[in-house]
Structure 1
Amino acid sequence: MSSRQSVALTGASGFVGRVLVARLLASGYRVRALSRSPGRCLQHEDVTEIIGDLATPGALAELVKGSDCLIHLAAAIAGRRQRDFERVNAVGTRKLIEAMEQTHPGCRLIHISSLAARLPQISHYARSKRQAEQIVESSHLDWLILRPPAIYGPADPALAPLWRALASGWLVQTGPARARFSLLHVDDLCDAIVHLIDRPWPLRRTACLDDGHRAGYTWSELARLAGSLRGRPTRTLRLPRFALSLMATANLGISYLTGHQPLLTPGKVRELTHPDWVCGDNVALASSGWRPKRQLASALTELPGWSTRS
């Protein structure tokens, strides 16, 4: 791999993006990062900030120009209506694809989707992510779609309340007891992306990746794991679906008054209470030589709440 290879990146200032930029730099790549305003990305001599967003054609053309691979991380995860998600996840992806095909069709694309895309009917977010996949699939580019499950890590604000509660001896259960779900540490996701940049794509172009816990995790397994690490039993606080639905409906109503884009919505409740978010296997990526290294058992005490718990 030449140290002069350049990788373009959307979503560089987010939770995953910041870790990925550091991984790319450590691997010798130069980074071209799309940024809505100056200074949002990691400041480094090998990072070039391109000011704009997915609705800025000139910035997208500049982002793609001279890049060997583009990693599309940017996504809308909060919104009231379908169009709130589509504007970024679908329309933004289409504009990015158009810029790549017009400016640099030889640039490879790694599109980071979501496991939710396999159930587009479950929420506005899931539908928009599936729409984005279909746009990528219909392009003339050399592409790879990755569908990660829930991604976690020390700097992730979304799951921090769950880890803090676990560290205090409480499991806040938002799904049914029978639910199973896959997880993926942010380090493994970023290592997989960097690993795949200049290697032949897997035979299956849409691939799921998880932490290797093949059958996924259960809520009771999380409780046992936390109890084992704390040396005391973990108590479970079960939030029934009707309570989550009431909270989501109220949150949605308040969002119309405040103007903010809500995270907890009826669609998100359907995602949280779905019983099967298991990735399956990593056969498609295993053929490339990538293997996950971090499982929750070894990573849990690095997460928010554990280092400061009494």
Structure 2
Amino acid sequence: MVYTPSEARYEKMEYARSGASGLRLPKLSLGLWHNFGGVDTLENSRALARRAFDLGITHFDLANNYGPPPGSAEETFGQLMRSDFMPYRDELIIATKAGYRMWEGPYGERGSRKSMLASLDQSLKRLGLDYVDIFYSHRYDADTPLEETMAALDQAVRQGKALYVGISNYNADKTKEALNILRRLGTPCLIHQAHYSMFERRLEHGLQQVLEEGGVGSIAYSPLARGLLTDRYLHNIPADSRAASGSVFLKPDDITEEKINKSRSLYSLARQRGQSLAQMALAWTLRHGRVTSALIGASKPEQIEDNVAALGHSEFTQEELDIIDQILGNTSNINGV
């Protein structure tokens, strides 16, 4: 059956400019790090992508090694592009990354020009695309001069294989250095993808300030702490959960009693706000508009619908923010990122 997206797809989704650029991203973006691999069913992946786009999510986030097996998430999305989304290519922001191990030998990972550009060519082939909208350096590589990694990003844009570039998992100092290099090269950094949630707040400790001073956007990955900031683990570890399945993204040891107790307290506050815990956690991540977008993952379309509903109640009182910080045991930066 031919896919026709909802005509109302742009009526409710909110979009924000990424830093000082002219590009606007949806406040919620879909991450394809799980449920789009070769071990997953294509029809479920299709249902997730379709529902996301129907709700105004135009940004789909990939990496060369997403799967499992590595590379298969890009292959799956390539199939979906051909069968469903190619007529809407100009409405989509498609991102991919290079940096983590992808193939055997010394060039299958990290930040050399050889590795970065070879990886991008492989990604484009799997996706069946001439270009991606955003190409990231997935991690800082201490064994490669930062100038070389940034020059590879610049070259990808000049070759027409990417429209914008980004970095991910760089600390504040290396981020500042990378931004300066890219600016000199003439290809400014669009966005930084950082691990950020109520349980992971390193973005607040200097990095967000560097990004704002540099006119660079930010996108938070794992804003739901890989499921810990949802209703899923409040009482036990469900048999069908990622934690129980041996996922590399969440292991039973990651689910500590301390975190569960905090999640239960946060859940109580969310209920008082008339939200699910996941909705409150996403709204908190996007509070004050300093984070451009939050990456969500889903195993069924209803989860995407629930997440998008968070945008309808995204304001917090100062009292609520204070309560959240008291629950988390972190009273610094309570007024924002």
Q: For the superposition of Structure 1 and Structure 2, which TM-score range results when normalised by the shorter chain? A: 0.3 to 0.5
TM normalised by structure 2 equals 0.35
Question: What is the TM-score when the length of structure 1 is the normalising length?
Answer: 0.38
